[in-house]
Amino acid sequence: MKAIFVPTVKEAESIFTGIELTLWRHGIFCAEYNDIMIFVTGATKTCAAFSAGAVLGAFPVAEAVLTGICGAYRQSGLNVGDVVSVHKDFFADEAVFYRNKITTMDEMGFGFANDGCSEFISYGNLPIVNSNTVSFLDGEGDVSSLLYSKYGAAVENMEGAAFGFVCNMLGIKAYQVRAVSNFCGKRSEQEWNIRLALGNLKRLFE
């Protein structure tokens, strides 16, 4: 079976209109959409990893799609509203931060994922990008610039690398589709438009 995973209830109900979310177990909500199961993982790496493990251990999922909003680095050339398919998703802030560089856990010899990232299969004909999964959000811009220069990823999110890691370890085909809702960096310059991003995802999955 194929299952679609979404970080938050708001994203799930906006992308898959008309669904009726019900509590499955462990605080995980689910619904059915066109004969496909939808699961709400919760935001952040911790919730996404737990929810993915719980669901994939209970259902015979062969293909798992993670979708939702993301931020884009301005250097990427992406615009708010763009929909992309993620290829590599880095555990970007599991690292030591210095003033002008980052040394990753993988580079320090504590890596647990291949090259410090999880990999996803390309989805449809969407533009393919790499992503950074982060545990904290930069409100000033300095950290975002450092992350971009380190990994060269186009976007960032808070769940992808952990979700992909679970799928990669279990041998499950994993896809990640994101829509840009804002730019990364200084909070006053992020240009949020969640409605546009979710609307574009809605049209994609319809």
The pLDDT of residue 111 is above 90: no
d(CA 149, CA 157): 17
d(CA 117, CA 39): 23
CB 120 within 8 A of CB 87: yes
Alpha helices in the chain (DSSP H): 9-15, 45-58, 142-151, 160-170, 194-205
Polymer length of the chain = 206
The pLDDT of residue 102 is above 80: yes
Arithmetic mean of pLDDT, 111-115: 85
CATH code of the domain containing 101 = 3.40.50.1580
d(CA 33, CA 65): 13
Put simply, whether the predicted model's pTM sits higher than 0.85 gets the answer yes
Residue-wise pLDDT tens digits, 124-163: 999 999 999 999 887 887 889 999 999 999 999 999 999 9
pLDDT the model gives residue 141: 75
pLDDT the model gives residue 188: 87
- Mean pLDDT for the chain? 95
Range of the domain at 110: 2-205
Domain count, the chain: 1
Given pLDDT bands bounded at 50, 70 and 90, which one contains residue 68? very high
Decide: helix, strand or coil at residue 198: helix
pLDDT the model gives residue 49: 98
- Name every residue whose Cβ is closer than 8 Å to that of residue 73 and which is 6 or more positions away in sequence: 144, 147, 148, 153, 154, 155, 156, 183, 184, 185
Residue-wise pLDDT tens digits, 164-192: 999 999 999 999 999 999 999 888 889 99
